[in-house]
Amino acid sequence: MRPVTAYPPLQHGLLSVYFLQTPEAETFPQEVVLYLTALKSGQVEVKEQRTPTIHRLCIRNRSKRLVFVLPGTIVFGGLQDRIVATAALLEPGEQTVDISAFCVEPARWHPERARTFAFYSLQHEFLHYASHRIRIRALHTADQLGVWDAINHERGLACALFNAELMSSSLRDVHDIPELSEQISQSLQEFRGALTKFPTATGIALALGSQLVEINLFGNRQLLEICYPVILGGYLRDTLIYPAEQPREAPPLEQVQQLALTQPSTLTHQAEPARHNRLIIGRVNDQFDALILEYHGQPVYKQIINHANF
């Protein structure tokens, strides 16, 4: 098992961000692009299945690059907006029909414009990333009612905090509040340059107050670079929307390093979301769940997430 080195965290209010380093990294035969970026440029198509169903979507990679699907991202359009509940690495020209998804727009089941999905935000990819509470219910407990409950709770908090009038049933309304996205963008600027200070880092860990909430380890540096602002922007939103305790001392480095090395003790789900992909989801312990994506038999992404509410 490869050792993990954690560096002292950068802090922003309640949020602590640790950069993580592993001694080895995988190399890919092609450049890798985040599927949100490819969706924006038209190099990836996300659409309903031939016989539409809430919990399955088709993704087609039209580019000549590998496309990484970051779990917990949201696509807007189709018959209803969805959160993507899997990780995948799509090869050039590949189409997959086994992408798991959950509804984040409960009051609509008809084409908004077409049965394809679009990159909604013209500025910020982090607006396509769901909160910790919603991602837990979609990825790790596969609980559609729980997803809707978390969305309703988030909508209520956002309305009260920003005096916002939400016009539809979609989570998009929360992500589209101008004051919220502006505050996230401003906070994100403080962290953008931080990645360059850790040139060998291939992962990040995040803590809220004294609680370690998530670890993301990537197979190489490029995957970290394309996912870092999306994940971080999502957690900055969490700190703005959800009521927070007073900041306390961040978790020690030893705790972060030890958790990063753990493997799921109980498997709850296995799938092959794309060619040469193997996805494993399982329980680490009473507090944490894990998601591991393998490509050609090698781990390229590992997420360990606290399944408590924050």
The predicted model gives 32-36 an average pLDDT of 92
Q: Indicate the pTM of the whole model.
A: 0.93
The predicted model gives 39-68 an average pLDDT of 91
**Tens-place pLDDT, residues 191-219:** 888 999 999 999 999 999 889 999 999 99
Amino acid at 230: V
**Tens-place pLDDT, residues 91-121:** 999 988 778 999 999 888 886 655 666 655 5
Q: Which residues contact 106 (CB under 8 A, 6 or more apart)?
A: 80, 148, 151, 169
Mean pLDDT of the chain, nearest integer: 89
Q: If 0-12 CB within 10 Å is exposed, 13-18 middle and 19+ buried, where does residue 24 land?
A: exposed
Q: Which residues contact 49 (CB under 8 A, 6 or more apart)?
A: 56, 57, 58, 97
Work out the pLDDT band at 122, boundaries 50, 70, 90.
Answer: very low
> Per residue in 132-151, is it b (16+ CB within 10 Å) or e — as a string?
bbbbbbbbbebeeebbbebb
Other beta carbons within 10 Å of 257: 17
**Tens-place pLDDT, residues 5-18:** 999 999 988 899 99
pLDDT at residue number 248: 73
